[in-house]
Amino acid sequence: MSRIKVLVVDDSVVVRRLVGDTLAGDPRLDVVGTAANGKVALAKIPQLNPDLVTLDVEMPVMDGLETLRQLRKLYPRLPVVMFSTLTERGAATTLDALELGANDYVAKPANVGSVTQSMEAVRSELVPKILALCTRTRPVVPSLPAPLPQPANAPAAPVVPPRVDLLAIGASTGGPDALSVVLGALPASLPVPVVVVQHMPPVFTKQFADRLDARCAVKVSEAVPGAPVRPGEVLIAPGDFHMRLRRVAGRVQATLDQGTPENYCRPAVDVLFRSAVEAYGGHVLGVVLTGMGADGARGSAEIVRAGGSVLVQDEATSVVWGMPGAVAAAGLATQQLPLAGVAPAVLTRLAVGRRNGAPVTPPGSSRIERTAWAT
């Protein structure tokens, strides 16, 4: 396989050298050039024909966002990974970049004691994302829970699935855009709560939740300890915290902890999905959207094992078909759907067992209509 060609764009000589030397140490990658600003980068792309561009945000002459706007007009399919700082300003700009078409982002090393540690931080974050965005690999299927044993004369599975009382969603690379599409298509009168894990660092998740809340009919917020899980409302796990659901005095609430990362992730989709089953049994509908890795596959197995079902985004519309691909490869997905088809499929599934199967009304009303259905 030919090496992946990378163009590094950053106004800092130190960062260009750090990233360049780090990537050059991987035999699968080839740093074909560097640029100190977006204007130079745009001039070099047709000469170097890179497979991926790493792009800084704050640069003279032409900054990262303007470069990205121009780049997307000229090269709509060229993968772009933003370099971001873990600050409120950095988070806001990175979310702007994702909306403009950046594929993913990595955090610039901060408070790192040595060049070696800085290189390792970049290597561990950036290299897997480059490989995921530039190569097509078979989804990794982790070891999954064994199916429940069935009695010898067990009756056939019911034709009508159980009523859904919770929608649980997991996403990673490409997830912000995918979640905007899915959550934006849900009505304020949604009859179930929604809980979400999007792999993001601290600060980012709060700003992301606020942006979604301003644009969606459903209420969206970053989860806090003890937050009630209510119909028509979306809770997003905060960065660096697992989110779990627990039932207390008949009501479900969210808990947060910094337990051991799973699948190298915190928050982890598997953690959320497992706790969803503990709180709701087989009345969970899982959705796994675009993302690298296999987080969510084990949790999906628990949902299916309990009698629930799982929908996944299809390969054609996923930025990276790792997470949804792992669920599909394990035979756990009820449907594989293009991104635009996920919300309609969810609403169709939610209608089962409600109001004699009447379809859930799609969005189109004002935010004042945010009311919880009695369930």
Angle at 255 between CA 267 and CA 260, to 5 degrees: 40
Alpha helices in 252-332 (DSSP H): 269-280, 297-306, 323-329
Among the options 295, 300, 309, 318, which is catalytic? Answer: 295
Q: Which contiguous run of DSSP H or E holds residue 346?
A: helix 339-351
Whether residue 338 has a cis bond before it, omega within 30° of 0: no
Closest-CA residue to 193 (of 244, 157, 234):
234
Structure tokens at 238: 């905060």
Tokens of 98: 């994702």
Question: Shortest CA distance to 285 belongs to which of 163, 113, 127, 185?
Answer: 163
Give yes or no for a contact between 239 and 197, defined as CB atoms under 8 angstroms apart.
no
Could you give the 3-state DSSP secondary structure of residue 262? strand
Alpha helices, DSSP H only, in 7-87? 13-24, 38-48, 64-74
Query: Any catalytic annotation for residue 309?
Result: no
Catalytic residue check, 172: yes
Token pair of 325, please? Answer: 């691909």
Q: Is 295 noted as a catalytic residue in this protein?
A: yes
Q: What is the Cα–Cα distance from 84 to 107, expressed in whole angstroms? A: 5
Catalytic residue among 118, 189, 199, 270: 199
Considering the candidates 84, 118, 172, 309, report the single residue annotated as catalytic.
172
Establish how many alpha carbons lie within 13 A of residue 31's alpha carbon, considering only the half-sphere containing its beta carbon. Answer: 18
From the number of C-beta atoms within 10 Å of its C-beta (0-12, 13-18, 19+), residue 86 rates as middle
What are the residue numbers of the active site?
172, 199, 295
